[in-house]
Chains A and B, each alone.
Chain A
Amino acid sequence: MTDEQFDKLFTHPDFQRLVRRKQRLYWPLTAMVLMVYYGFVLLVAYAPRLLGYSLSGGVTSVGMLVGVLIILLIIGLTGLYVYRANHSIDPLNDTLKQEFDQ
């Protein structure tokens, strides 16, 4: 690609929209994972007893539920990202590719 083509692509409204959509998808998700994980680490460090409380009178603890939920949340968030990227970002990307990529 030549410099002019780069300029044209960079200022293309579809490209600007693509970048905005991508950033609005990955930054909040990243922040969420970091908050959940480091929140959990701090909870382990500062309030281990809280995680040891019984969940509903039985042996299973709050911490066990939290651990399993975090695993499921992580799987869910990656699934959500892929779903959103496939459905709302890829079509936009494909039109840009068709226009500029020979």
Chain B
Amino acid sequence: MKPLTSLVVVAALMVCEVTMASDGDSRPMNWNAIGMFVVFVLLTLAITRWAALRTRSTSDFYTAGGGLSGMQNGLAIAGDMISAASFLGITAMMFMSGYDGLLYSLGVLAGWPIILFLIAERLRNLGKYTFADVVSYRLEQTPVRITSAFGTLTVALLYLVAQMVGAGKLIELLFGIDYLYAVMLVGVLMVLYVTFGGMLATTWVQIIKAVMLLSGTSFMAYMVLHYFGFSTEAMFAAATQVHAKGSAIMAPGGLLSDPIDAISLGVGMMFGTAGLPHILMRFFTVRDAKQARKSVCYATGFIGYFYLLLIIIGFGAITMVGTDPVFRDAQGAIIGGGNMIAVHLAHAVGGSLFLGFISAVAFATILAVVAGLALSGASAVSHDLYACVMRKGEASEAEEMRVSRLATLVIGILAIGLGLLFESQNIAFLSGLVLAIAASVNFPVLFLSMFWSGLTTRGAVAGSLTGLICAVVLVIISPTVWVKVLGFENALFPYSNPALFSLSLAFFCAWWFSRHDDSPRADLERGRFRAQFIRSMTGIGASGARQH
């Protein structure tokens, strides 16, 4: 792996060059942050090199050989969920409006028990590399794999674009690096991790970052509690005294005032999580259903703990950051905007060295999440489209891996390009759209394929496509896009969150088209449900782990 060693050097040089390039900017360079970030990048590249030597087969590439422990996979799953968006975004939300920030945390967390009870073990028992393996288990391969791959790619790319734009903006602020270089740096590192190290490197990057983020936030929460004499009552009391909204921050504000919109948002967050391809893929990295079950339990514990810490961090910041003039500019606004609250709090509790650490962690978080997304997108292309549809399972492992690496490269280039294109666009709606699409395209069909014997190929394809089209159209004609982005006077669809409607319609179409499918093929497919049911329940015949 000679080329990889030289790439390590190139990447390190690139960081140096990039940091020098922006010396003329008004924003001061944060050398602590850059130093720690360079250390993180070198460490992850060393891991990538180690992983590259162990990545020989498709099973290694897609699922790290299927030999991760429940604890490792649980940390990696937690890492996927506690992204920069949730760390910086939810803290910012609590800082601005208090209790409303908690509503988002709960929506994401509540999806996990559902994934554990209904999906995780079945997924592991039935599939090998992608969730399309599970949906197409007893259905016609070609149409089902094409629609599933299409759903995976749509979700992965949209999510990537949202992350890229967010990353670019954040890095610009944190490190004083130019947006263009920031996006390219994220793209290049993502492609390096995935093409050379596959799932093994991606997972370890995710695990290291999760541990860093969890320890960093634990320290911050501890320092906040210490500041308030370990009394949450004192912390809330101080926050309500200094916040412009007063005691209103201790109750729900206007965020979810419309019941239908509130439920729709909840449906999107809960079932969207269960339809994210890079999350679903994680269940194939463990040995068996028992380890899959354990990994969700660990993940839920870590995610829940993280959100509890965020309550302390968000409300503590109201006093500790909000009342300190150091963190405000001449106009009295927070320097760098609301998303910088958590970073400012890091400065307040741990000085500039800890500020550097948290900045580096925020960047690391983005890198780890985009790597997982790129891998899930690449596997949809190489495993579902190339190996199963185009070559009908005749492709050799070497060929499949070559296509997968090529796909990663293309996805990386696309993500950089789209990231630059969308720089000045409002990306807030993109993140919402991603979860709504994942909830409507992937979840209904995945659920029905495992729980309903009546599902046929026609129903599965109809359900996926309806979910996709319906979610996208409803977002476009919603107030968020139709009024705020496109500038029309009245929205055609009154709610900001489409998931309740698009998910229901996807379920209905999958049911209706299956019900009215009286082709001989449909009868065969229904007949194969019993064998699938036995395997999903017992794991008999499931693909096992490869020993390293």
Chain A residues engaging chain B, CB cutoff 8 angstroms:
1, 6, 9-10, 15, 18-19, 22, 25-26, 29-30, 33-34, 36-38, 40-42, 44-46, 48-49, 51-52, 58-61, 63-64, 67-68, 70-72, 74-75, 77-79, 81-82, 85-86, 90, 93, 96-97, 100-101
Contact = CB atoms under 8 A, between A and B. Distances in A.
A28 B290 CA distance: 20
B239 to A, nearest CB: 8
| Size class of the B contact interface (CB-based, 8 Å) | 35 or more
B256 A30 contact: no
Given A30-B118, A64-B236, A93-B539, A42 B259 contact: yes
* Nearest 8 CB-CB pairings of A with B: A52-B251, A61-B250, A45-B259, A48-B252, A26-B117, A37-B110, A59-B237, A45-B262
B99 A63 contact: yes
13 contacts: A41-B266, A44-B103, A44-B262, A45-B257, A74-B304, A75-B305, A79-B301, A81-B117, A81-B293, A82-B297, A97-B539, A100-B540, A101-B541
Given A10-B530, A68-B308, A78-B112, A58 B266 contact: no
A34 B256 CA distance: 18
B311 interface: yes
Given A78-B112, A96-B540, A60 B256 contact: no
Nearest to A100: B540
Contact of A60 (B233, B263, B290, B534): B233
Contacts of B247: 52, 59
Nearest to B236: A59
Contacts of A44: 103, 252, 256, 262
A22 B258 CA distance: 37
Given A36-B110, A64-B99, 19 more contacts: A15-B534, A15-B538, A25-B117, A30-B113, A34-B114, A38-B263, A41-B266, A44-B252, A52-B248, A64-B236, A71-B106, A71-B109, A74-B109, A74-B113, A74-B300, A77-B113, A78-B296, A82-B293, A97-B538
Contact of A45 (B117, B256, B538, B541): B256
